[in-house]
Structure 1
Amino acid sequence: MKFYDIDNALLEAIEKGDSPVRLGISLDWSNTGFFETVFEHDIIEVVFYGLKEVSGGTTARGEVLLDNTYGTYACGGNGGRGAGREVRISFSLGDGLPWFQRFVLYVDDNGFQDIRGPGQQRTLRLGLHDRSALLRKTENSRDWLHPAVFTYSVICDKTRPEKSLVHLIAKRAGIEAADIDCATIPVSLPYVKLTKNIWTELSELAKTYRAHLECAPEKPLVFAHSPYQQETENVDDCSYTFTGEHIFYLRETARAEIYRNTVRLKINIPVALEKQEIWRYDDPPVLYDTDLTPMYPFRSTVLRDIQQQGYEAQYRIKDGGTERPVIYADQIDTLEEATERLDFEGGPFAYSAYDVTTHHEKAIITLNTETDGDLRRASICGRPIVLDLNRSCFLRDTEAIAQYGTAALNVSGSYFSEDTVGGLPMYEDWTMRELTERLQERREFTVKTHRGLFHARIGARVQIETSKETLKGTINAFSLRYRRDAAFVAAFRITELV
């Protein structure tokens, strides 16, 4: 991954390093969609932060302090005193150069913070966050008794958004296919059930498939740069080289907590099976004939549960003599097909209620008979999906264990697949990649510069040249600090690539 593309004139000015960084702020003050620009001389201080979350996503936030001596910047309209208003942040260098829009952020729940000081002193403070904060709240008001379920989908495919998990999850937050910049990851999952908020689900998906997830300025959502994607990338591209000429602060720290020599992956994987019998009536009392064939007597003196409204026929399959619950089934028998499967003596038997659409894991049925009779068989067939519980993959490096002792990483998740990748099931391939990365003893560097590297981004590869060595690394956090009366400071946390 590389820095954002910016105008060549801006790149040349950054390399020269003799032009002051300029900041542009446009804000929808009245919440009408009309953006007004803040006077540049009123911007006292602004700082932006970006980081790669442990959960898998990339987020950005910021703080703005404006000179509001004359009360110019007041919240217009109603609604939380400005909370949620969109703010667009742009950067430039010197005079006469183009602007680059770097952030699209939103005023946080504190709204417009009007601060009064001594005398005529008056400032306005804005706390900002990106769209990820909104996605974290999207599901709060939903009825989680009926969570979203997606079946027979792939991880990401912009040509088939109706079967792409990234698109299906994002759509629940109002993000349409045209608003997503993504790669094609054709790994399939037969069953996914959302149990968390939108951002958490997308982050877990990104972490599992090692993708870059970001609410970027060019698109509301980016999901790309995965080793599992079909598109090819030059992973060795370096966006920038820091030298002694650029750096005024450099700190090196060890990241011993990252090191692991054992990875234990334990997951529950949904498995899709061929169409088969997924329910058969077996409620007691039951009688057996001479061939040990079960019979279920229906007599007028006893009313069985299945003869009453709301009887739940839970789907199950038999696998090697044990029953396994079905978490989802489709291609289920129609009423006519289920009726044809009835086998009885006396009767006749018939379904007066047959609902296989309301629930995915059970049918709501009622079976009646007009006269006494014996039911030999009542069953329903469908295409089931079952959970393969406690699927595991255990890998370790014996030489590293002998040298350092066991340092284990225990992993679980809901988006791992048994699709083959490079000749291995995806979850085994993931475990191998994780162990390879964790075995590296890496360092982390904090770099600070006055250069206007406002187009830097999380995940981009850079180099650090010192008098002793040249290092390669990946940016995993940054801060951009602008002050009206001080030099611009860009700080980066860079994880070494070994």
Structure 2
Amino acid sequence: MAFYEMDPALEESLLERTNRVILILEIQDDAGEMITLPEEALQEGNFHSYKDFLGGYCVTGSVSFLDEEEFLSGLSGQDRQVRILISSGNCGRFLHRFTLTVDDKGFRRSRTGGITRITATLEDAPARMKRVGGLKNWEEKQIIIDCVMSDKEHPQGSLVHLIAARGGLGSEELDCSTVELPLVYAHISASPWEELCSLATSCSALVEGGLDHKILFSSSVYQRDGLLEEMSPLREDLFYEMTEEEAGDVYTNSVRLKWNRPERLNPQILWRYDELPVEFDDSFSPSYPFLPEGDRPIQDPLVPYEALFEVRENYKSLPVLWADQIQSQEEVLEGLQFEADGGGTDGLTLSSYTTESQRAYLNLSCSQAGRLINLSILGQPIVMRAGTACFRSDEAEIALRGLRILSGRSRFFSDALVTGADGEDRPHWEDWVLRALSQGIKRRRRYRGRSEVGLFYMRAGALCSLEDEGSSTLCRVEELEMNFQKSRGLETRVTLLEE
């Protein structure tokens, strides 16, 4: 992700460094049309772009402006869209910099000398999703089967689109790169913002708010086109103050990923009847005696008998998260083995049978005494490999600087093979750990700059090359704060983290 692209005339005006920066507000009316306020209306504005602790990028802000012509008289501010356009000097070219929404407090109006002054707090879609998500009831879990992490062309099978839909966003409100890493099972239970950030972490992608789309999901190292992330130049002499420090807080020499890994198995027995009482023959093969008036729970026609699916493997049972290709009632009956006491195989049948993804409900009807030899249900299961782990460390760095651990928190990892930075193919989850370790052991620096030049085209999350007297340092914008005062102009504060 790079900086915003400017019109050449606007860029030329900025390079002169003497032209004042102009901010224009456009506010949506009740009909959806944009009301453009006069240039002199905005008195103060503050816009803060930052990396959330979950990993995504948010924008919050506040504006204070005069409504001398009463353009907004009678309008409620809550949830109203606001666009911020920025220009320089008299070039006549504007950069559409932000598309934000007024928060729940709406417009706060005050009148002095007959002039209305309006103050509003603004937020982009990620900031709003983060704030509102915790207030909604997310008790209703969502199970997603056989999807890919991100696919713009097929949103119905794209995990990023399905998560965004839980936050009330349609596929047209989301722009994303295509990351075709398959997932056999995904359990969505947290807020949409938490889940989006978790997915972005797994994909090594950026998630942020956009101008024309409410959410952008991009710049993944695993995306289909394989293009390198765009980078923008940034001259150090644009800042009147620049401080440098060691970024020791992002150093790590041991990466530990532990998660519950879903796995799809081959079709097999998901359930077999084994309820007491039981009899064994000379070869210790079990059978289950049935009577026409028997009291076995599976014979009670008023209470469906629950058959929980599980997979038995190496003397332990694995619960089934999901199963499909489950046998029909006719197929189960075909495999039922019963020996009547009077001879023959008739006398026991299924009186009811329904299935769900993790269980079946059934009842048996017995017309003559006998022994049940086999009653089972087959299907193709997805099971959870609890406590799957991948640990990688750099022993030389540990000996030098002590153990510094990074624990992977995401759970959206694929078993698909990917090509690593070294050209070797390995499972996605292993490659993610190796990339995190490779990045973590770097001795990185953090730069904090302040500028009164109009650096409004910068954006948090963007990759840039910090250039100074023939040297350059590859950095990513961690945080960006723009403060506008009508009497003083625009000041920009930026935090850069070396890549």
Could you tell me the TM-score, scaled by structure 1's length?
Answer: 0.91
Provide the residue aligned with 1:372 in structure 2: 369
Provide the residue aligned with 1:431 in structure 2: 433
CA pair 310-112 structure 1, distance change in 2 beyond 3 A: farther
Whether 1:455 aligns to 2:448 is: no
CA pair 82-121 structure 1, distance change in 2 beyond 3 A: closer
Aligned residues: 486
Provide the residue aligned with 1:154 in structure 2: 148
Whether 1:288 aligns to 2:280 is: yes
Asked whether the 8 Å contact 2:10–2:91 carries over to 1, the reply is no
Kindly state the Cα deviation for residue 71 of structure 1 after the two structures are TM-superposed.
6.1
Provide the residue aligned with 1:164 in structure 2: 158
Matched residues in 1 for 2:118 and 2:135: separation? 30
Kindly state the Cα deviation for residue 372 of structure 1 after the two structures are TM-superposed.
3.1
Provide the residue aligned with 1:181 in structure 2: 175
Matches within 5 A, 1:160-309: 160-235=154-229, 237-244=230-237, 246-308=238-300, 309=303
From 298, 304, 329, the equivalent of 1:310 is 304
Matched residues in 1 for 2:458 and 2:232: separation? 8
Whether 1:112 aligns to 2:115 is: no
CA pair 90-370 structure 1, distance change in 2 beyond 3 A: farther
Give unmatched runs, 5+ long, in structure 2.
341-345, 420-424
Matched residues in 1 for 2:91 and 2:439: separation? 46
Percent of pairs with identical residues: 30
Provide the residue aligned with 1:36 in structure 2: 35
* SS of 2:14 mapped into structure 1: helix
From 54, 77, 82, the equivalent of 1:82 is 77
* C-alpha distance after superposition, 1:212-247 (max 9, x if no partner): 111210322211111111213234x54132232x21
Asked whether the 8 Å contact 2:148–2:158 carries over to 1, the reply is yes
CA pair 369-115 structure 1, distance change in 2 beyond 3 A: farther
Provide the residue aligned with 1:337 in structure 2: 331
Could you tell me the TM-score, scaled by structure 2's length?
Answer: 0.91
Matched residues in 2 for 1:468 and 1:99: separation? 32
Provide the residue aligned with 1:411 in structure 2: 408
Kindly state the Cα deviation for residue 173 of structure 1 after the two structures are TM-superposed.
3.4
Which residue identity lines up with residue 211 of structure 1 in the other structure? A
CA pair 40-411 structure 1, distance change in 2 beyond 3 A: same
Give unmatched runs, 5+ long, in structure 1.
none
Provide the residue aligned with 1:15 in structure 2: 15
From 128, 132, 146, the equivalent of 2:126 is 132
* C-alpha distance after superposition, 1:107-134 (max 9, x if no partner): 11222122467x6675321011111244
Provide the residue aligned with 1:494 in structure 2: 496
Kindly state the Cα deviation for residue 58 of structure 1 after the two structures are TM-superposed.
1.1
Whether 1:382 aligns to 2:374 is: no
From 77, 94, 99, the equivalent of 1:99 is 94
Kindly state the Cα deviation for residue 466 of structure 1 after the two structures are TM-superposed.
4.4
Which residue identity lines up with residue 209 of structure 2 in the other structure? C
CA pair 75-397 structure 1, distance change in 2 beyond 3 A: farther
Alignment RMSD: 2.2
Matched residues in 1 for 2:138 and 2:403: separation? 44
Which residue identity lines up with residue 474 of structure 2 in the other structure? K
Asked whether the 8 Å contact 2:233–2:467 carries over to 1, the reply is no
Which residue identity lines up with residue 410 of structure 1 in the other structure? S
Asked whether the 8 Å contact 1:182–1:223 carries over to 2, the reply is yes
Matched residues in 2 for 1:35 and 1:120: separation? 25
* C-alpha distance after superposition, 1:326-350 (max 9, x if no partner): 1000111112111212111235222
Kindly state the Cα deviation for residue 469 of structure 1 after the two structures are TM-superposed.
5.3
* SS of 1:376 mapped into structure 2: strand
